[in-house]
Chain A
Amino acid sequence: MATESYPDDLRYHPEHDWARIDGDEAVLGITWYAQDSLGELVLFDGPEVGATVAKDGSYAEVESVKAVSDVVAPLSGEVLEVNQKAIDEPETVNEDPYGEGWLVRIRLADPGEADQLLDAAAYQAHIAEL
Chain B
Amino acid sequence: MVPFAGWEMPVQYTGVIPEHLAVRADAGAFDVSHMGQLHVEGPMSAEFLQAMLSNDLDRISDGEAQYTLLTNERGGIVDDLIVYRMSHGHYLLVVNAGNREAAYGWLKEREARGTEVRDASDEYALVAVQGPRSLERLGLADAPAFTHAMGEVDGVEVMVCRTGYTGEKGVELMCAEDDAVALWDAVLARGVVPVGLGARDTLRLEVCYPLHGNDITQDTDAISAGLAWTCALDTDFTGADVLRRIKEEGPERRLAAFVMEEKAIPRPKMPIEGGGEVTSGTQSPSLDVGIGMGYVPAAQAAPDTELVIDVRGKPRRARVVKKPIYRKEH
Chain A contact residues, CB within 8 Å of chain B: 39-40, 42-43, 45, 61, 63-66, 68, 87
Contacts and interface: CB of A to CB of B under 8 A. Distances in A.
A65 B263 contact: no
A42 B283 contact: yes
A61 B282 CA distance: 15
B263 A40 contact: no
Interface string B5-44: 0000001100111000000000000000000000000000
Considering the complex of A and B, which 3 residue pairs feature the smallest CB-CB distances, nearest first?
A42-B283, A65-B16, A40-B17
Contact of B283 (A61, A65, A87): A65
A43 B265 CA distance: 8
Contact of A65 (B264, B282, B312): B282
Given A39-B12, A42-B283, A43-B290, 15 more contacts: A39-B15, A39-B198, A40-B16, A42-B17, A43-B264, A43-B265, A61-B312, A63-B283, A64-B16, A65-B17, A65-B283, A66-B12, A68-B265, A68-B267, A68-B312
A65 B267 contact: no
A42 B17 CA distance: 10
A65 B12 CA distance: 11
Overall SS of chain B's interface:
loop
Contacts of A42: 17, 265, 283, 288
A61 B288 CA distance: 18
Interface residues of B, number: 17
22 contacts: A39-B12, A39-B16, A39-B198, A40-B15, A40-B16, A40-B17, A42-B265, A42-B283, A43-B263, A43-B283, A43-B290, A63-B265, A63-B283, A64-B16, A65-B202, A65-B282, A65-B283, A65-B285, A66-B11, A66-B16, A66-B198, A68-B265
Contacts of A87: 263
A43 B312 CA distance: 14
A68 B263 CA distance: 14
B65 to A, nearest CB: 30
Nearest to B14: A1
Nearest to B20: A65
Interface string B265-300: 101000000000000001101001010000000000
A66 B312 CA distance: 16
Contacts of A64: 16
A118 to B, nearest CB: 28
Contacts of A63: 265, 283
Nearest to B267: A68
Nearest to A1: B15
Nearest to A61: B312
Nearest to B11: A66
A39 B10 CA distance: 13
Q: Which of A61, A64, A65, A66 is packed against the most chain B CB atoms within 10 Å?
A: A65
A46 to B, nearest CB: 10
Contacts of B11: 66
Nearest to B202: A65
Contact of B264 (A39, A40, A45, A66): A45
Nearest to A64: B16
A38 B283 CA distance: 14
A68 B290 CA distance: 13
Contacts of B285: 65
Nearest to B263: A43
Interface string B194-206: 0000100010000
A77 B17 CA distance: 35
Contacts of A68: 265, 267, 312
Most buried by A among B15, B282, B283, B285: B283
B265 to A, nearest CB: 5
Contacts of B288: 42
A64 B17 CA distance: 10
B263 A45 contact: yes
